[in-house]
Structure 1
Amino acid sequence: METNTTPVTTTAIGLRYGLLVGLVSIIFSFVLFVTQTDQSPVRWLGLAVLIGGMVLAHNAYKQVNGGFMDYSEGLGIGALMSVISGALSTAFSYVYMSFVDEGYMSRVMETTRAKMEAKGNMTDEQIDQAMSMAQKFSSGGWMLLFGILGSLLFGFLIALVVSAITKNSKPEFE
Structure 2
Amino acid sequence: MDKSISPAKSGTMYGVLFGVIMVLEFVIMYVIGMKSLVNTSVGTIVNIANYLVLPLIFIFLGCNHYKKNINNGFISFSECLKTGVSITVLAGLIYAIFSVIFNFIFPDFINEMLDITRSQMIAQNPNITAKELEMGLGMVKKFMNPLIVFPVTLVMYSLIGLIYSLIVGAIVKNEKPSSL
Render the CA deviation track for 1:113-133: whole Å, top value 9, x for unaligned: 222222227543222112112
1:46 alignment partner, one of 43, 50, 74: 50
RMSD: 2.4
Aligned partners of 2:63 and 2:80 also within 8 Å: yes
Mapping of 1:71-150 within 5 angstroms? 71-99=77-105, 101-120=106-125, 122-150=128-156
Describe the superposition over 1:28-77 as per-residue Cα deviations: whole angstroms up to 9, x where unpaired. Answer: 32222222357521312234332222111111100121211112211111
Task: Rate the CA distance shift 1:76–1:122 in 2: closer, same or farther, 3 A.
Answer: farther
Give unpaired runs (5+ residues) of structure 2.
Answer: none
Structure 2 CA distance for aligned equivalents of residues 162 and 108 of structure 1: 35
Q: 1:57 corresponds to which letter in structure 2?
A: G
Structure 2 CA distance for aligned equivalents of residues 102 and 149 of structure 1:
24
Q: Deviations over 1:154-173 (max 9, x none)?
A: 22222222222222223457
Taking structure 2 as the reference length, what is the TM-score of the superposition?
A: 0.81
Match of 2:33 in 1: 36
5 and 81 in structure 1: CA distance in 2 versus 1, 3 angstrom threshold:
closer
Work out whether 1:9 is the aligned partner of 2:6. Answer: yes
Partner in structure 2 of residue 57 of structure 1? 62
Q: Mark the runs of 5 or more structure 1 residues left unpaired by the alignment.
A: none
* d(CA) in 2 for partners of 1:33, 1:158: 29
Structure-1 separation of matches of 2:2 and 2:151: 39
Read off the aligned partner of 1:137 and give its amino acid letter.
F
Count of aligned pairs: 170
Given that 2:2 and 2:71 are in contact with CA atoms closer than 8 Å, whether structure 1 keeps it comes out as: no
In 2 relative to 1, CA 71–122 (structure 1 residues): closer, same or farther, beyond 3 Å?
farther
Deviation at residue 5 of structure 1 after TM alignment:
4.1
